[in-house]
């Protein structure tokens, strides 16, 4: 059990290190050497715990996703009502701990590779499915069936679009503007 645990711990540490490097250096700039160094481990250990570089990046994708998912869950727990649930899900995506240029960019980098990496695609699909399964039920009580379907797509797209823009780090969009824009969109949709 201790044995199983150390493996889990190392994988976790390496994944976090890789996530950091990815945010700083992009996918091409994320080398195993940098990741190992950031994790304070030896170069060789990375591929002891991960099949290959892609395997590590998949773990990063899952980690990034898990962090966001936890934030969503946390916020949904504190909320009541269908409208509140929708708002909580959305708010999680713009919480100061996630809606950062580096994180948005890291996410972008991973998404860009999806068409060329089967596993990335699988993970991405899971993420979308969860988004849908979170959003659809409350939306269906707030809107007609087809409007609810459309709203799932629309909300997701608006979030992604604002993330993309924020991830460019061009300074043309502040977090406040993004949040305001999102609120406006939700208001149009639900009011």
Partner DNA sequence: AATGAATGAGAATTCATTCAT
Partner DNA sequence: AATGAATGAATTCTCATTCAT
Residues lying near DNA in the complex (CB under 7 A) are found at 3, 6-7, 10, 29-33, 41-48, 52-54
For the range 19-22, what are the long-range contacts, defined as Cβ-Cβ under 8 Å and sequence gap of 24 or more?
19/60, 19/63, 19/64, 19/106, 22/57, 22/60, 22/106, 22/109, 22/110
Q: Which does 127 bind (CB under 5 to 8 A by kind): DNA, its own copies, none?
A: none
> Toward its own copies, which CB reaches closer, 55 or 181?
181
Q: Which residue is listed with tokens 């649930």?
A: 85
Least distance from C-beta 115 to its own copies, angstroms?
4
Q: Quick check: 116 binds its own copies (CB under 8 A)?
A: yes
Q: Which of 27, 47, 67, 179 binds its own copies (CB under 8 A)?
A: 27
Helix (H) or strand (E) holding 3, with range, is: helix 2-29
Q: Which does 160 bind (CB under 5 to 8 A by kind): its own copies, DNA, none?
A: its own copies
CA dist., res. 119 & res. 19, Å (int): 17
- From 69, 44, 46, select the one nearest 56 (Cα to Cα): 46
Q: Quick check: 25 binds its own copies (CB under 8 A)?
A: yes
Q: Which does 1 bind (CB under 5 to 8 A by kind): its own copies, DNA, none?
A: none
Q: Which residue is listed with tokens 């993970």?
A: 123
Q: Which does 48 bind (CB under 5 to 8 A by kind): its own copies, DNA, none?
A: DNA
């Amino acid at each position: 059990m201790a044995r199983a645990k150390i493996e889990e711990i190392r994988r976790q540490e390496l994944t976090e290190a890789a996530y950091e490097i990815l945010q700083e250096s992009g996918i091409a700039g994320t080398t195993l050497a940098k990741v190992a160094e950031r994790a304070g481990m030896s170069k060789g250990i990375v591929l002891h715990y991960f099949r290959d570089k892609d395997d590590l990046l998949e773990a990063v994708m899952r980690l990034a996703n898990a962090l966001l998912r936890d934030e969503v869950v946390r916020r949904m727990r504190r909320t009541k009502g269908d409208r509140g649930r929708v708002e909580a899900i959305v708010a999680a995506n713009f919480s100061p701990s996630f809606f950062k240029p580096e994180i948005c960019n890291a996410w972008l980098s991973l998404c860009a590779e999806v068409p060329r990496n089967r596993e990335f695609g699988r993970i991405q699909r899971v993420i979308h499915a969860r988004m849908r399964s979170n959003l659809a039920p409350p939306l269906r009580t707030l809107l007609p069936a087809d409007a609810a379907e459309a709203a799932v797509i629309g909300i997701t797209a608006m979030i992604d679009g604002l993330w993309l823009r924020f991830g460019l780090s061009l300074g043309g969009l502040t977090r406040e503007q993004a949040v305001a824009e999102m609120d406006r969109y939700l208001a149009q949709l639900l009011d």
